[in-house]
Structure 1
């Protein structure tokens, strides 16, 4: 059965030339391969149907004899002018058909970019943005225009960024021989009165006095969802200091259940003058807070060590600049951040460097700091007799005090130093 050219163009045999032109324009642009790569055969059929029905002689032959008669050729019939005699063959280039129809190569207009202003609250919660546009619309005759207002709707998702692009296809002016251009809306974030945004994080700058910077304080922050969050700051606020509050930032556009962080920065207001008494109080405050911060660091350090399933200690005995014997006690362990090495204490030995003195100082230090010695699995020292002696060396006495054996190692730095001594260039 032959091709029904009228059906291809979604017409009936009574269609006028204007109907044929309008239908071909609509269907050819709709099924153009640049928009629908899979519609190549449809695009070709549309071009062939238009090539036949837009030509009076071909159309007359097709109307009388159908596709088979058109393509096979028909004999000249006396008195019936306009019949196609030679067999019809489509030229096979649907792009050429469309090019001749529209008078150019590209029926697609370039996208039109427009800015859409949104508040930080809009981008935090998400919203529906309605935008009214005026555009040209083709009338039913296919050639004249009228101006139409249309409301475009943009569904803003929580977490969108400044610069996010949203494409609304074919919403620009209509043309007789072209596809309306896409409108690309580009998000432009309005300035917020107290938050600035860094990717998914929110930054809040708090004005504070010098007294607050030195003595501690708390900051009340009203979040974008209306909550009042109280944030204590116990550190000394130095230039460049910031405090991170996890999970109080912007939602992530890919997963709004996840959020960035809130970053507190500070604008310290310095006084013009400070009295003598104020200077004294500031000095004492800084001293007290430094001690408190050191205690907090030590407490966190011990908590990390005790949370590790196993740890090792390393001891090294030496004299300081005042010729006082000291033993450095270090701890090695592994946590979620990887291998860690922390100095636990520098232990004065009161002039004694015997294994008994070193062992007593180390064990007492570990107990005083409440470090769980049941997790200790190894010890590293140098090769000095006070450390490695078989009877009264530190390692031997430590194992006796624990009533169990430990893995013992010669400190790698001392091994390297001993190796280096065998090379003349390092002596």
Structure 2
């Protein structure tokens, strides 16, 4: 005769041959009754763990089959081998699960006590029969088996429906990431420190931790480019962590303005140079100086384009935009009479 060891059926308060739904209902009832958050009696924590182990075995067809044939010792690899089929010599079970994690998973990550115990119009825990935590709902036909409809859709497979409430992901957490034009020119790596909440191993309590995210800035990336780190936001028992999104923003530059993959340099010249020809020393992003000369009359707002001295194209980083030299003519604030007379003689009226 096989020694049974622990009687998982007795722990859940059911008989051998119980159906899958019976096992789920029994676990639900016993887990709520002995959960340490509600049951402060000595031994409740250990009983809660035994209930989780019993459910872990009986809810798994393979484990349940071995247990039914060979008992606890056979399930855990200590019993005799059976004839035919899978025997204990080919299967060794040790419960290493977290009873709180099993509880949270069963209830879809929710805190069921908020529904069972938290909405009873001011009543206390002593008002409820913990042997039947569903008794207060009555049998009013509002959902499967007398449960409210909000329960029948997510209570461990009741009524043939999903056993886990689908978690929803929090909205993205968006941060601006400012980069200089020099960084866009050459590409760079930015290390961004974030602080977020994470679940501890008990899957209930939270800790705050810091993490460094490395953002690879590629050559030529435009302002508004988004870099996403999936599920790096706060974690709770009831959510899917949000994505962390960085949005590129150009830092204001003391010399240049950006126009897509082109950069614009404003060259300030005198009225004399505008009329008589000018030479401008235009800087580049990588520290060089380019000489730009013109003998033409420079109109205010006139531009000269220098090819391939701008920023890399995002999709073709081996090619670059242009450096645009935009002229700004500085007019004198005052002229003496001799200068006025000279200009009047030289310049046409129209």
- TM-score, normalised with respect to structure 1: 0.45
Q: 1:98 aligns with which of 159, 164, 167?
A: 164
1:14 matched to 2:100? The reply is no
Structure 2 residue aligned with 1:190: 251
Q: CA deviation at 1:156?
A: 0.6
1:175 matched to 2:236? The reply is yes
Structure 1 residue aligned with 2:335: 273
Q: CA deviation at 1:228?
A: 1.4
Q: Can you list the C-alpha shifts for 1:175-208, whole angstroms capped at 9, x where unaligned?
A: 1232211001111211100100111111111111
Structure 2 residue aligned with 1:222: 283
1:53-64 → structure 2 map (5 Å cutoff): none
2-side partners of 1:253 and 1:5: how far apart?
A: 56
Provide runs of 4+ in structure 1 moved above 3 Å. 2-6, 22-25, 89-93, 274-284
1:233 matched to 2:294? The reply is yes
SS of 1:21's equivalent? helix
Q: CA deviation at 1:280?
A: 4.5
Q: Indicate conservation of the 8 Å contact 1:22/1:142, yes or no.
A: no
Q: CA deviation at 1:21?
A: 2.1
Structure 1 residue aligned with 2:306: 245
SS of 2:232's equivalent? coil
Q: Indicate conservation of the 8 Å contact 1:214/1:282, yes or no.
A: no
More relative contact order in 1 or in 2 (CA 8 Å, sep 6+)?
A: 2
1-side partners of 2:306 and 2:62: how far apart?
A: 70
Structure 1 residue aligned with 2:80: none
Q: CA deviation at 1:233?
A: 2.2
Structure 2 stretches lacking a partner, 5+ long? 1-59, 65-91, 110-156
Change (3 A) 1:17 1:243: closer
1-side partners of 2:290 and 2:238: how far apart?
A: 59
1:147 matched to 2:147? The reply is no
Structure 2 residue aligned with 1:114: 175
1:10-409 → structure 2 map (5 Å cutoff): 12=93, 14-16=95-97, 18=99, 21=102, 93=161, 96-99=162-165, 105-271=166-332, 272-273=334-335, 276=338, 280=342
2-side partners of 1:282 and 1:12: how far apart?
A: 105
What RMSD in Å do the two structures reach over aligned CA positions?
Answer: 3.2
2-side partners of 1:279 and 1:126: how far apart?
A: 56
Q: Can you list the C-alpha shifts for 1:366-390, whole angstroms capped at 9, x where unaligned?
A: xxxxxxxxxxxxxxxxxxxxxxxxx
Q: Indicate conservation of the 8 Å contact 1:159/1:200, yes or no.
A: yes
SS of 1:214's equivalent? helix
Q: CA deviation at 1:14?
A: 1.9
Number of residue pairs the alignment of both structures matches: 213
Q: Can you list the C-alpha shifts for 1:74-103, whole angstroms capped at 9, x where unaligned?
A: xxxxxxxxxxxxxxx99654xx3221xxxx
1-side partners of 2:246 and 2:179: how far apart?
A: 11
2-side partners of 1:191 and 1:116: how far apart?
A: 13
Change (3 A) 1:210 1:174: same
Structure 1 stretches lacking a partner, 5+ long? 30-88, 100-104, 288-427
**Which structure shows the bigger proportion of residues in helix conformation?**
1
1-side partners of 2:63 and 2:320: how far apart?
A: 58
